[in-house]
Structures are given as C-alpha cells and as structure tokens.
Structure 1
Amino acid sequence: MVDAPYWKTKTLEQMSPTEWESLCDGCGKCCVFTLEDADNGQLYRTDVACKLLDGKTGLCSDYANRKKHVPDCVKLTPKKVPKLDWLPTTCAYRLVANGEDLRWWHPLVSGDPKTVHVANASVRNKTRPQGRMKEAGLMKRIVQWPDPLDKPPKGYKRKRSKS
C-alpha cells in the first residue's frame, strides 16, 4: 500500500523545512504586485513583478537573500498563510491550509516543475520588472490573470517517477 503524500497527512505546522519549501509550485504570483482598494478591500493584481523575480523562469533570482534586497518581501509561514488573502487561490500553501489537495499541475503531483507553466498557472514571460514604478503606474498595470487549466492539455504526458 502506498502512503498518502505528506501534504495530505500533515498540517503546514507539521512539515519539515524541505517539505514546506517543496510546496511552492513556482508560479511566481506571490511576487507580483497586488493592490487593495482602501474603500472596499477588493484586490487587484498587476503584471509588475518584484525586482528579484526572473521573468523568464518565474522564480526568485536570489531566494536565499531576498529579505536583504527586498525588506518588505513577505516570508510565508504556517501562521501567516491563512491571513494572506492576496495569495492566489491556487497557491499550494493556501490550498493545504484550507484542507484542499494540490492541483494536477503542481510539481509534487505531476513530477515535473514545468507543468505549472503548461497549465498557464505561472507568471513566467508575463510580467514586467518593477524598476522605479510608483503606485500610480501600478494602477495602469492591473491585469486579470487567466485561470489555470483544470486538466492536462491533450497530448500531455505525465512524467513517471522512477522506482
């Protein structure tokens, strides 16, 4: 009998540092600027990325030292995740915190880190760098990110794990 994957049996608090880090699907959506309407709390996503986000990979270019370069970068923790309403609804941390399963395109499910891009769930090649942009400029960059694919595209072959 095969044991259930750790994200189905452990809470975020119970995960090892390695398990915690591997929950990140690499979508990069937490690294793009999200604006909040002060009057009604509505969130608006932009296509403007943190200066450390590599637009070609959708990953942080200096993850280990990100807080040094971007002091207001939010370090996700099990206690913070449930309170961060700006995390995408597809974020693995948010899904697990809510007792939901990971999506088909998550690398832990698919066995392939590229499926997050195949599913159109990442910001790779869809952002512009922050540069010296001011908040007024951010308001002109509001976008509606497309929903990821619900199932693999026709012809997609899932990687098989080697046993």
Structure 2
Amino acid sequence: MSRPRKRRAPTGRGRLRERFWERVPLREMDPAEWEALCDGCGKCCLNKLEDPDTREIALTRISCRLLDDATCRCAHYEERKQFVPECVVLTPKNIDQIAYWMPATCAYRLLAEGKPLHDWHPLVSGTPDSVHRAGVSVRGWTIPEFEVPEDEWEDHIIEEPT
C-alpha cells in the first residue's frame, strides 16, 4: 500500500515544510504551519465548564454561536473576536498557559505536551475528512448556545470524542 500524500498549502515561503509538526517547535512555526495544525474537529468551539478548584474541563455539546455544525469550522474565523469577544485565540505565545483547556485530541495540545499527532489528523492522513471519518469531530451533533440557557449547560456535559 502506498503512503498517503501529505497536505501541502501555500505559505510565505512557498509551501509547508515537510512533516514540520515533527521537527519544528510550536513557537517557531510560521503562520501557515500554525493554522495547518488545526484538524477541523470543532471541539475547541464547544462551550466548556471549568471547575474553579481543580481546573478540570468538561466539554458540553453546546457550540459557540459561530460554529458551522456541518463543516466544524468557525463561520467568521477572521472576525470571530468581533462577534465573540470571549473567544480564545490560540497562539504560539499562549499555548503553554491554555493547552490544558484544549481538547485532549487537539494537535496544539498534543505537540505542546510532546505527543505525536493521531493517524487521523489531516496532516498525517493527507485528507481533511479523516477527522470526521474517525468519529472525533463534532459534525452533526451540537446544540447552538442560544438554544440552551447557560444555567442548564451542565445538563449537556459530554465525554470527549477520542
């Protein structure tokens, strides 16, 4: 069986560096490489509840108002802070402080913790749909945040799809 082709995308340098996620520290990735780490699962756009004592994070099936449930992508990614001021923008500078908050399967968190990407990650599999085929995305089962009062979010806690 042949090895799947790796996803390539234009960057300021022309293309993503070959298997950059295995060789380049998060803080040294260029913007295109940083963005390419996103697997498109949509779990970062689920509203979370944090225990103030333990800092334990619980995912809910309640999604940010900007999440497109069909694509698992932000409908207004570039302007998201204008619509959702509390949206956390993950950067190489803040990943160490907020990695615990990211989903356990998140490439940013995995790499920050010194772990490899999963086989279903689009950079490894060569196809963006692999995250959905593996059943780790939120495609088709979220509830928009405006449909559930915040004091009922605890009723919608889920186990993270891994």
The answer, yes or no, to whether TM exceeds 0.5 is yes
Cα distance, 1:117 vs structure 2: 0.5
TM-score normalised by L of structure 2:
0.84
Out of 139, 142, 148, the residue aligned to residue 127 of structure 1 is: 142
Aligned partner of 2:85: which letter? P
Match of 1:72? 86
Out of 68, 77, 81, the residue aligned to residue 95 of structure 2 is: 81
**Structure 1 97/40 Cα, relative in aligned 2: closer, same or farther at 3 Å?**
closer
Per residue, is there more helix in 1 or in 2? 2
Give the distance between the partners of 2:75 and 2:27, measured in 1 at CA: 27
Match of 1:104? 119
Give the distance between the partners of 2:52 and 2:19, measured in 1 at CA: 40
Aligned partner of 1:113: which letter? P
Match of 1:116? 131
Q: How many residues align?
A: 145
Q: Quick check: 7-16 or 129-138, which moved more? A: 129-138
Give the distance between the partners of 1:83 and 1:75, measured in 2 at CA: 12
Identity percentage of aligned residues:
47
Out of 101, 109, 119, the residue aligned to residue 94 of structure 1 is: 109
Give the RMSD, CA atoms, in angstroms. 1.5
Q: Quick check: 113-122 or 83-92, which moved more? A: 83-92
* Unaligned runs of at least 5 residues, structure 1: 148-163
Q: Residue 140 of structure 1: SS of its match in structure 2?
A: helix
Q: Residue 38 of structure 1: SS of its match in structure 2?
A: coil
Aligned partner of 1:20: which letter? W
